[in-house]
């Protein structure tokens, strides 16, 4: 067989995908696994979005779309940014892609040359450094410790910027920690970025509507308009509207960057499903009452998990402001042996043993750039969460 590309060595399978696959394989063997690995809402997509997709198909809206998105959806995105963030974009400052992930990949592919540095606050979504390496860049992880709420400190950001820095990637609310930044905290980061005009800023706002306890989401382009010509704001319908499978994400930013990203998309996937775009437009423009209901359910689940894990020996859990993850510290469990005789030296050992012995799947913190932690997704039903937490507590109580 001829050789595969060397770049594949820079992009191993994401740990989230690997752990989810392992859980599915165990389920196929008849084992009752509770998977808390994937960030996927367990709610149904909005009925009016599904109906809009059906109507689009029936009226023949099934041809090649513009590579940057259907005008109807881009107009809905305009209204979304105006309504949610007070941001104004022209249609040529907006592009639609196959999920938010492709928006980010398009941006990196369009701007990053070999050896360029991308600053990624850690803990981070594992896709960020993997995509950076695939396009030839160098991810620069900047630690955001738990004692600072898992948030990037301005001094640490300043210290990380070099002449080779091309991007700063921000993700609030954050995957995997659920941490969210206040307007003042975003403004403090903006003050640093104003000193470095050679650096692009990406604001991944995919979880923007999943914030709790009266927390208000703030995004960089709205907080500091002087940075607007360097900020790419990314969002989509996957998390807010439980539409992960529709694969609709979008980005808004400087038209020159959007034009370059659209060019990259043209070489990779051309346009985006017209049926999915119709559904997304309906979700953005239609009734929004389901969004706060889902957010309330996630808040209740967050509190359920935090309350239950408080009884787990060796675990300490930060209270997240948003998203649907908790990121407990498992340092108190390491150096011990499980009831089945497995020694736990790393957070990956913890995750694998928890899956093998208690049939609960979580993702180890090393995959997100910070140990010793694990990520738990609470985007599942209350009964499954309660049972999973019971098993986690039993697992921790059995350590010796």
Query: Same domain for 255 and 111?
Result: yes
Query: Same domain for 154 and 207?
Result: yes
Distance of CA 183 to the CA centre of its chain: 20
Query: Same domain for 114 and 228?
Result: yes
Task: Kindly give, in sequence order, each residue whose CB lies less than 8 Å from that of residue 121, ignoring residues fewer than 6 positions away.
Answer: 141, 142, 144, 151, 152, 169, 170, 171
Give the whole-angstrom CA distance, residue 12 versus residue 302. 31
Task: Kindly give, in sequence order, each residue whose CB lies less than 8 Å from that of residue 122, ignoring residues fewer than 6 positions away.
Answer: 141, 142, 143, 144, 368, 369, 370
Assigned domain for 268 exists: yes
Q: Which of 252, 285, 318 is the last residue of a domain?
A: 285
- Please give the structure tokens belonging to residue 183: 């307007």
Q: Which of 256, 285, 314 is the last residue of a domain?
A: 285
Report whether pLDDT(76) > 80.
Answer: yes
Query: Same domain for 267 and 297?
Result: no
Task: Decide if 243 contacts 280 (C-beta within 8 A).
Answer: yes
Query: Same domain for 136 and 279?
Result: yes
Query: Same domain for 147 and 242?
Result: yes
Task: Please provide the average confidence, as pLDDT, over all residues in the chain.
Answer: 96
* Secondary structure letter of residue 139 according to DSSP: E
Number of domains in the chain: 2
Give the whole-angstrom CA distance, residue 241 versus residue 76. 14
Query: Same domain for 276 and 215?
Result: yes
At 377, which CATH number?
Answer: 3.90.1150.10
Assigned domain for 33 exists: yes
Q: Which of 285, 308, 325 is the last residue of a domain?
A: 285
Range of the domain at 100: 47-285
Assigned domain for 1 exists: no
Query: Same domain for 267 and 298?
Result: no
**Distances in whole angstroms, Cα of residue 253 to Cα of each of 71, 179, 305:** 17, 24, 37
pTM of the prediction? 0.95
Give the whole-angstrom CA distance, residue 190 versus residue 173. 17
* CA-angle at 247, arms to 246 and 251, nearest 5°: 130
Query: Same domain for 257 and 305?
Result: no
Give 219-245 pLDDT, tens digit per residue: 999 999 999 999 999 999 999 999 999
Give 138-173 pLDDT, tens digit per residue: 999 999 999 999 999 999 999 999 999 999 999 999
Give 256-294 pLDDT, tens digit per residue: 999 999 999 999 999 999 999 999 999 999 999 999 999
At 235, which CATH number?
Answer: 3.40.640.10
Query: Same domain for 84 and 12?
Result: no
Give the whole-angstrom CA distance, residue 191 versus residue 353. 45
Give 174-187 pLDDT, tens digit per residue: 999 999 999 999 99
Query: Same domain for 199 and 54?
Result: yes
Q: How confident is the model at residue 81 (pLDDT cuts 50, 70, 90)?
A: very high
Query: Same domain for 63 and 125?
Result: yes
């Amino acid at each position: 067989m001829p050789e595969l590309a060397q770049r594949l060595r820079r992009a191993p399978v994401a740990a989230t995908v690997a752990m989810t696959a392992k859980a599915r394989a165990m389920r196929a063997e008849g084992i009752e696994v509770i998977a808390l690995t994937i960030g996927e809402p367990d709610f149904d997509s909005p009925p009016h979005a599904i109906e809009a997709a059906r109507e689009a198909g029936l009226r023949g809206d099934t041809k090649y779309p513009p590579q940057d998105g259907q005008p109807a959806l881009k107009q809905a995105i305009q209204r979304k940014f105006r309504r949610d963030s007070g941001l104004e974009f022209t249609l040529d400052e907006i592009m639609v892609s196959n999920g938010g992930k492709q928006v980010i990949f398009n941006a990196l592919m369009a701007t990053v040359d070999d050896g360029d540095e991308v600053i990624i606050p850690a803990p981070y979504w594992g896709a960020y450094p993997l995509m950076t390496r695939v396009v030839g860049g160098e991810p620069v992880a900047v630690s955001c410790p738990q004692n600072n709420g898992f948030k990037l400190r301005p001094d640490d950001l300043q210290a990380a910027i070099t002449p080779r820095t091309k991007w700063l990637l921000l993700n609030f609310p954050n995957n995997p920690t659920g941490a969210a930044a206040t307007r003042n905290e975003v403004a403090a980061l903006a003050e640093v970025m104003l000193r470095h005009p050679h650096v692009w800023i990406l604001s991944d706002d995919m979880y923007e509507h999943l914030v709790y306890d009266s927390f208000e989401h703030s995004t960089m382009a709205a907080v500091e308009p002087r940075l607007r010509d360097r900020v790419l704001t990314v969002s989509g319908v996957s998390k807010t509207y439980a539409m992960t499978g529709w694969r609709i994400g979008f980005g808004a930013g400087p038209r020159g960057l959007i034009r370059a990203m659209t060019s990259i998309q043209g070489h990779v996937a051309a346009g985006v499903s017209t049926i999915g775009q119709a559904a997304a437009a309906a979700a953005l423009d239609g009734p929004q009452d389901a969004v706060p209901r889902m957010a309330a359910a996630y808040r209740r689940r967050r509190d359920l998990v935090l309350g239950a894990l408080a009884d787990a020996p060796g675990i300490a859990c930060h209270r997240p402001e948003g998203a649907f993850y908790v990121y407990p510290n498992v340092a108190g469990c390491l150096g011990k042996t499980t009831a089945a005789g497995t020694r736990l030296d790393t957070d990956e050992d913890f995750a694998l043993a928890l899956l093998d012995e208690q049939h609960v799947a979580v993702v180890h913190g090393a995959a997100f750039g910070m140990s010793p932690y694990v990520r738990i997704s609470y985007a599942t039903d209350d009964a499954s969460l309660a049972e999973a937490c019971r098993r986690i507590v039993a697992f921790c109580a059995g350590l010796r």
